[in-house]
Every structure is written in C-alpha cells, then in structure tokens.
Structure 1
Amino acid sequence: MSIFTTEFDRIPSSGLGAARMKICPTCQQKYADSLQFCLSDGTVLSVFNDPQATLRLETRQTQPPTQVKRGLTVGVLVLAGVGLIGLIFVVGVLILYRTWTNQGAGASNRPSSSSATNTNQPNTIPVLTKDEVAQKLAQVNTEVGLSLVNSDLEALDRLLAEDYRYVSDAGLSLTKQEILTLFRTGNVHYDYLTTSDPKIEVDSDLNKGAVSGRARSKGHFRQQPFTDSYFYKNTYEKRDGRWQLVSGLAWHH
C-alpha cells in the first residue's frame, strides 16, 4: 500500500459543487471521504457536508512522519553495514595478497638449504700432517707383507701399482703381473716374513714416501725352499686417493 493518500482541502468556491467530507468528533479535523479513522487520535470519522468546500487533490502522508524517518534511518544503517562488510573484505584480500607476495619474494631471495649446507661444510678431504702420512705408509707397508704371506691376490692387485717392479742384488727382476702369476700358480710361497728397524721417509708434497728396513723370510720359490735375511726399500706413491707400492729393492750385506 502507498504511504500517501489524497485529502480534500477547502479552497474558495468557483462554481463547483459541494464536496462530501468526514470530520473527527474529537479534534474536529476534517478528512476526505475515503478515510475511516482520524490520523491524529484514531477516532472513527463522521460524515460532514461542507457546501463551501471544493475538491482539491493533495498528497498527505498516511503514516506518521516518525515512522517514515525511522524506516529511512534503518535503511541507511543497513546500507552502511553492508558497505562496511564489503570494505573489510577488500582490506582482508589486500593483506593476504601482500603477505603471499612478500613470502614469495623472501623464498626466492633465500639461499637453498643445499647451498647453505655446502657453504657451511668444511673441506671433506682432510689435510694430513707429515707424521700422519708416515703412519699411513707404515700401515700400508704392513698390509703388503701380510698379503705376501697370505697369498692374497686381490689385496696384492690393489696395493701394487701397474708399473711396479721388484729388483734384487741377485739379479732378479719381477713386474706386478709376474709376481701375481707366481702366487697364482703356487711357484712362490712364504712361511713367514718379518721386518725390523723401519725407517720412513715422506716427500714434501706428502704424496710420495718410502719405507726401508731389515727383513727376514722363509718359504719356497719355484719348488725350492729358502731362508733369507736382507735389507729392503719399498717406495710408495699416492694415486687416485690411495697409496700404492711402485718399486721394491732388496740387497744383502
């Protein structure tokens, strides 16, 4: 229903007919014939004929002004609330976007965990002192002697360099492959091999060294038994990260 209706108001007569109106018995307020109750106090209206009045259409509120204002106020508040919620949503989206952007930029600028680990890791190849190299040479020399006594072909193949050669003052000269063949065919066998009075020399570059001393041995060579005492010198080189025997010399008194 519309919030406005028409009310008759009196204007000077200009020859028009009398208008039928209604009047409030309480407040004497006059209304158009279409109304049933007084807009001021709600009293039932009575019919009133006014011959001096003519019809004139005029808009009049059928609802109290306070109710109209109240409706407008509520509408404004609702619109303001909706606008505030929309503003909060937009601000939240902007904050999230900036956060994601900053996180992405920070992740791209941070060094990867692998690069940071590699930077902080020390050199994996330890630098040995001269004394430590000498101890390593003594250990390798002992391993060579045990491999000869045990006829360990795998260990001998690993410990002897490809260009290894053994030379004795008796005129015997053997290469690595000849020595491996002698052990493989059983033409050489040691019952024991001992060393004493070792002397270890280490070159300044720490990649070469020699072990010399006195040796005693007993065994069989080409089906002939032998017992020997002699001096020896084994020369070593570090190749591909490991120590190998490159030459062996043996001589008697």
Structure 2
Amino acid sequence: MSFAPLPRLILEPAVRAALIEDLGVAGDITSATVIPADHRSRFSIAARQPGVIAGLAAAELAFELVEPRISVSRHVEDGTPVDAGDVIATIEGPSRGLLTAERTALNFLGHLSGIATATAGIVKAVAGTKASIVCTRKTTPGLRAFEKYAVRAGGGMNHRFALYDAVLIKDNHIAVAGSITEAIRRAKSGVGHMVKIEVEVDTLEQLREAMGEDVDAVLLDNMTPRKLAEAVGIVSGRAITEASGGITPATAAAIAASGVDLLSVGWITHSAPTLDLGLDAA
C-alpha cells in the first residue's frame, strides 16, 4: 500500500517536545558522566516480536535533534512486516547522543509500530470482503497525525481527522436538535458543498429517516451482522455504510460480510500494545 510520509513540519514539534520532556534543564546526566565525549558506537534497532513497522522518521529525527552527527540506515520501510530478530535500522555516531535519544526514538517507533501491527491484524481479518478498516478520533492528544499515519502504514484508512473536516451527527446532536431530520437540515444549511455529512443511527427506523435527507454516509452503531445486512439493503448504495461499536479481530469478519463499506475501530489507536523493539550494540 502506498501512503505519504508525515512532513517534518508535523514531526518536529512533537519529537522536540518529547526530547525536552526527557532532557529537562540538566540533560542526560548519566551519559554525560559515564560516556567519554569522543566515544563512538554502532547500534541496531531490532524487533523482539513480529509486527509491522511505523514511525521510522520520528525515531530518526530524535537522534538527529540530539546529535546531528548520528547517521541512521534503514533496513526496512514503514509498512513492512517483520519477524522477531529482524534488524530494522542501524545507528552510528557519538555514543552520548545515541544513548540520550534512545528512549524517545524507541517510544515513537514502538508505539506507532504497535498501532500499525494492530491495524494489520484486523485488516487481515476482513480480507476477501469489500470492507475497509478506519480509525477514529480516539487518539493520544498531540499525536493524532502520528497515530493516523500508523494506521495507514498498517493497511487501514483514516476517518475524519478532527471536528473541522467533516460533519458527524451523533446521538447527542440529534437530542439537542430534536430529530435526525432537523439535525441534517441544519448541517446542510451551515456547511459548504465540499463537506461530507454522516449521521449515526442506532435503529433501522432512524436509518430510514436519515436516508430521506440524502446524507453522504451513515454510521451504524452497535448493530448485529444480521441487522447490518438489513441496513445495507435499505441504503442500497445511496450512501457509505460504516459499522462501529466493539469491533474486534474475532467479530470483524462477520461484520464485514454484512456488506458494509467501513468498519470503524477506535482501539487500534487508543489501546494498541506497543511493539517490543530494542536498541543493542551492533
């Protein structure tokens, strides 16, 4: 799968903030006192368990910002599946800088690779269906662009990035507006023609009401596969259908088989385990 890298303009503020958090006002007092200033090392980053890699640019930038003389050689690219023991990258340069940046680099790389790995697992579960896996706004504050990038590296797709790029009318919006119909009509009168409108529904009756207003997408919340199939029939290709609510690798195949277009999965960003990676002397 082809996916665009994150630009440095997005990467650098977050990586720099993470380094500042770790270094504080005194810097790495351990490396400064234990390691001679002129010492150089060569290390490798290797996988300690199978997974999919994401976040190499962030890891590289952590080393560069600490010590520009450090060089990083990739052995794989983001989106690559790896096995335990596979070498991901080799790092060479002043030892103090290598050890100072190590944890920040591995934090980004392990976290984002964990998301890519979790995404790849559920993407595999729906293989053979037309459904795609999409993430949500349930992301770590400040790291949304990173985490949504990792989803793409794992073979998934992104839902809306934030509140500003699409309308998603949920149950509380409907409660305040008074009805699905009124909420949709207000949204249509308030946004431009380029903005998509999606409505969350819990029942087939709500779905029929939403479809009467010509929406772009419907979020079918916590429906069984059987009810999802009925919903797909009601929509009949007139809008994108998206299933959400407690979707796991064990349930994803049956949900995808209902004919929905998208499976919306929040835990791939908010609860994916970190991929275990290590930095060791090469």
TM-score, normalising length: structure 2? 0.17
Which has the greater radius of gyration?
1
TM-score, normalising length: structure 1? 0.19
Q: Considering fraction of residues, name the structure with more helix.
A: 2
